[in-house]
Structure 1
Amino acid sequence: MDFTLLLLLAIIAGLTAWIVVLRGKPARSGPTIFSTIQQLKAIGHLSVFKAVTKEIVTETDHTWGDFGKKYLSWVISNHKLAMIFDFEIDFRYDLRRSDFTIEDKGDSVYAITLPPCIYEVHIRDIRFYDEQASKFMPWLLPDLVNSVFGRGFSEEDKNRLIASAKAHAEKQARGLIDQLQTEVQTSAKSILESMSKAFGAEQVHFTFLQEERPDVSVEIAQQAA
């Protein structure tokens, strides 16, 4: 066997051994998947659930405060009016927070920890329903204020009544938030799991951080103020 043939056989054997070694190594896709999943943080605020509800107020309670009870209890009882609230709650997670973390568990398995949920309450509309006339009336319009509350009802009084309405809406929203926690977390899991698997993850585990008394932001639409 001449030298050229020996050299050729040695090269072939070396290439074969190199290919076998490469095939035996695990794929290096893990870091790539992990760095891609980290891009979830660029989303910022992720809205995962929205609840729209209507409440009919036929009597006042402590959530209205002394001022709200003073005016509304008299209006509701003497004028046969019911107050109707339309409001929605937006459930969101801030993925830019430091406590939003993604951990690589290996084998394309990842653990995601979400920060406490953000709750935003939007009062879309407030109306009075006149039971005697069977009609709806927007609240706090000048004519309604003068006829129902009297001309001594000032702009400051109006603002205080709006503040009372916001406080009442917050109380109602907190009760609804407690009831919807399971649905909200299920929605968040579904959204983030779908996105993570699109990036190459095979399994995703979730942990939800919670606050004992979360902040609830209440805003009132211009047409309802």
Structure 2
Amino acid sequence: WTIPVVIVIAVLVVGLGVALLALRRARRVRSSISIHSTMQHMRSIGHLSVFKVFTKEIVTQNDHSWGEFGAKYLSWAISGRKMAMIFEFEIDFRYDLRRPEFEIRESPEGGYAIAMPPCLHEVHIRNIRFYDEQGSRFLPWLLPDLVSSFVGGRFTETDKNRLVAAARDHAEQQASDLIGSLQSEVQNSAKATLQSISKAFGAEDVTFEFAPQGRLDFTVDVAEKVVAG
């Protein structure tokens, strides 16, 4: 096998080996904003995850980035009931090594140049909770008695879906702001991971070329417990 082929295979093997450890560490994160800059795991579909950001946002006043319906709901819930909303989401930065932009080229001097594809971003909405300051307790975010007085005793599935959509849009907007400021950290993490593997197989001189980001490539999903309420 050539060294380029060995490098790709090594990434797959190492990534699978650290997957469970990375997931256990992710569950222990409790700070408001946490950043992981090590390789998290390599999916069998060929995605190399190199960077994660965990964000916990406390909303204590009307936030127009939640959209018209979301802002109306939050304004009532927070100001009228003396509540704060806890909104948690994470951003996973990954590279799809199956894309044609990913190449490993051998230079005439004996080194290697690795061309990386554009970075992909997966945004996961982990949880939405309301904190009752008067009762000093957390409430499910779609508690029936919480919404009944707001909507006159009836809160439809359509209303619920609109709130989830508002949360999805808000997470994407917040993620866009973070991604722009973290590009160099994400690229450095990818370099460190692939350089370590390359050196283990005798490739000491390795350079990297990163494709321009262009339009952000987003995938936003919502945890089942949020959808179910």
Fold-level match, TM-score > 0.5?
yes
User: In structure 1, what is the Cα distance between the partners aligned to 2:213 and 2:182?
Assistant: 15
- Per the TM alignment, residue 35 of structure 1 is displaced from its structure 2 partner at its CA by 4.1
Return the alpha-carbon distance in structure 1 between the equivalents of residues 134 and 8 of structure 2.
60
1:50-89 to structure 2, matched below 5 A, reads 50-89=52-91
Is residue 2:130 matched to residue 1:160?
no
- Matching residue of 1:126: 128
Please say which of residues 189-198 and 209-218 is displaced more in the overlay.
209-218
Q: How far has the Cα of 1:143 moved from its partner?
A: 3.9
Corresponding residue number in structure 2 for 1:36: 6
Aligned with 2:116 (options 92, 114, 117): 114
Of 187, 191, 194, the residue aligned with 1:192 is 194
Aligned to 2:92: 90
2: CA distance, partners of 1:153 / 1:48: 41
Measured after TM superposition, the shift of residue 33 of structure 1 is: 2.2
SS at match of 2:214: coil
Hey, what does 2:183 align to over in structure 1?
181
Letter of the 2:187 partner, please give it: Q
Single out whichever of 141-150 and 197-206 deviates more from structure 2.
Answer: 141-150
Q: Which has the higher helix share?
A: 1
Q: TM-score, normalised by structure 1?
A: 0.79
Aligned-partner residue type, residue 37 of structure 1: I
8 Å CA contact 2:88, 2:125 repeated in 1: yes
Q: CA deviation at 1:114?
A: 0.7
Gaps of 5+ in 2: 13-41
SS at match of 2:107: strand
For residues 109 and 140 of structure 1, the distance between their equivalents in structure 2, rounded to whole angstroms, comes to 58
- C-alpha distance in 2 between matches for 1:108 and 1:200: 11
Shift, 1:119, TM fit = 0.5
Deviation per residue, 1:39-97 (Å, 9 max, x gap): 46866100101111100112233322211122221222111111111111111100000
